[in-house]
Chain A
């Protein structure tokens, strides 16, 4: 076999092996998207009821709570960025990181100091490489986040927002995550969790023009809000974690699908080239044989005389 042909054969073999791997990863990601979507759906009733309750307390009482009132002169903000632990998901992580950077820039322009909180090894690696300060980071659960994970993430954030700004607390809490719109579309978005914008919260509940009844608070509106808001933050973070996980799997699936398609195309091209090389080899062999035979015939014809 000619050297050229052997090289092609070897490349085809290696690309075929790669294709098998990417195909398998695509299928795994596809099944995980469905699972993650189911988890998002399962967490919706709790989030919805909680949002309703927060709206009810927020609109139904005139209390001023540090978590619902905007600081007059906000000087510090916390940004929570959700990325994944593993790559191979196309632009998933870089989009989220880019959104976080834009938000950070905007906040800094407004004169606020930004503390970065990061979930996922990819985001942590990005910040470490650029030697940026990370207030706190969590890794290891981004593929299948549980409510306990969300609580773990929320705890220091709630603590920071409850603290006075002068003692290292923050005035605002922003979250950057990838929203799962559909299998094909996932967008990195940022939203402000705290202080609450009640109109925005109200817009999330299903019935927009619903008039909320006047609630009787037990023990008091203030205590209820005190207990509600941390849960609300946890539930929002949980929801963001789940959506981020679903988006990551969808992005992986898409990236792996195009990798598989590319591998298929490459195999086709390489097969053509290999066929050409084989054909060229055969042609050459034939012309060598024919050339050799006619040279031989010429030689014997000459020796007859």
Chain B
């Protein structure tokens, strides 16, 4: 049996995803980090960006995470984010519109948020 780690992806107001995985790739402030079962205990600050979870069934779950933390201990990985969305929940068309609007309004925060969503959606495909 391949080694597994338990992943919990939680947003501030709900649990987004939880399950077993073999590999989780996330972007921390000092670069991309891949966590596999048996990793050393870790606590890091996440950048806004897509998080890739390879589940134990071999499927890939991608989520857009807007800031937050990654913590790993005892083969349990938690991804905490104020806002987190699974790639399948993201409406690409609407996000593209949002990006256009954010560009027009010169709203850097909204622009980055939309950008992260689109990247996550693209990574899932």
Instruction: Give the A-B pair count, Cβ closer than 8 A.
Output: 87
Of B12, B43, B73, which contacts A224 at CB under 8 A?
Answer: B43
Indicate if the CB atoms of A42 and B15 lie closer than 8 Å.
Answer: yes
Q: For chain B, residues 30 to 45, give those with C-beta under 8 angstroms from any C-beta of chain A.
A: 30, 33, 40-45
What is the CA–CA distance of A42 and B11 in the complex, to the nearest angstrom? 9
Contact B78 A49 (CB under 8 A): yes
A146 at the interface (CB under 8 A from B): yes
Contacts of A235 in B (CB 8 A): 12
Chain B interface main SS type? strand
B37 to chain A, nearest CB (A): 15
**Is A82 interfacial (CB-CB < 8 Å)?**
no
Interface residue from A46, A151, A234, A238 paired with B10 (Cβ < 8 Å): A46
Residue A39 CB within 8 A of the other chain: yes
- B43–A45 touching, CB < 8 Å: no
A115 to B28, CA, bound (A): 37
Judged by a CB distance under 8 angstroms, whether A3 is at the interface is no
Contact A49 B71 (CB under 8 A): yes
The docked-state distance in angstroms from the alpha carbon of A172 to that of B121 is: 43
Per-position 1/0 for A190-228, Cβ under 8 A of B: 000000000000000000000011111111000110011
* A219 in contact with B42 (CB, 8 Å): no
The CA of A43 and the CA of B14, in the complex, are separated in Å by 6
Q: How far is the CA of A214 from the CA of B40 in the complex (A)?
A: 9
Asked whether any CB of chain A lies closer than 8 Å to the CB of B80, the reply is yes
**Distance, CA A216 to CA B43, complexed state (A):** 6
Most A C-beta atoms less than 10 A away, residue of B12, B33, B45, B74: B12
How many interface residues does B have (CB within 8 Å)?
Answer: 26
Q: Which bracket fits the contact residues of A?
A: 20 to 34
Q: Does the CB pair A53–B82 fall under 8 Å? A: no
Nearest A-chain residue to B45, judged by Cβ: A227
Contact assessment for B12 and A46 in the assembled complex, using a CB-CB cutoff below 8 Å: yes
Interface residues of A in 23-45 (CB under 8 A from B): 39, 42-43, 45
Known contacts A218-B28, A223-B45, then 18 further A-B pairs from the complex at CB < 8 Å, ordered by chain A residue: A46-B11, A49-B71, A50-B69, A53-B69, A57-B43, A147-B12, A147-B13, A213-B74, A215-B42, A215-B73, A216-B40, A217-B44, A218-B29, A218-B44, A219-B29, A224-B69, A227-B69, A231-B68
State the CA gap A45–B81 with chains docked (Å): 11
A147-B82, A223-B29 known; A238+B12 contact, CB < 8 A: yes
Docked Cα-Cα span, A214 to B43, in Å, equals: 10
In the complex, are the beta carbons of B30 and A146 less than 8 A apart?
no
Q: Is A278 an interface residue (CB 8 A)?
A: no
**Which A residues are CB-close (under 8 A) to B45?**
218-219, 223-224, 227
Contact in complex: B41, A214 (CB < 8 Å): yes
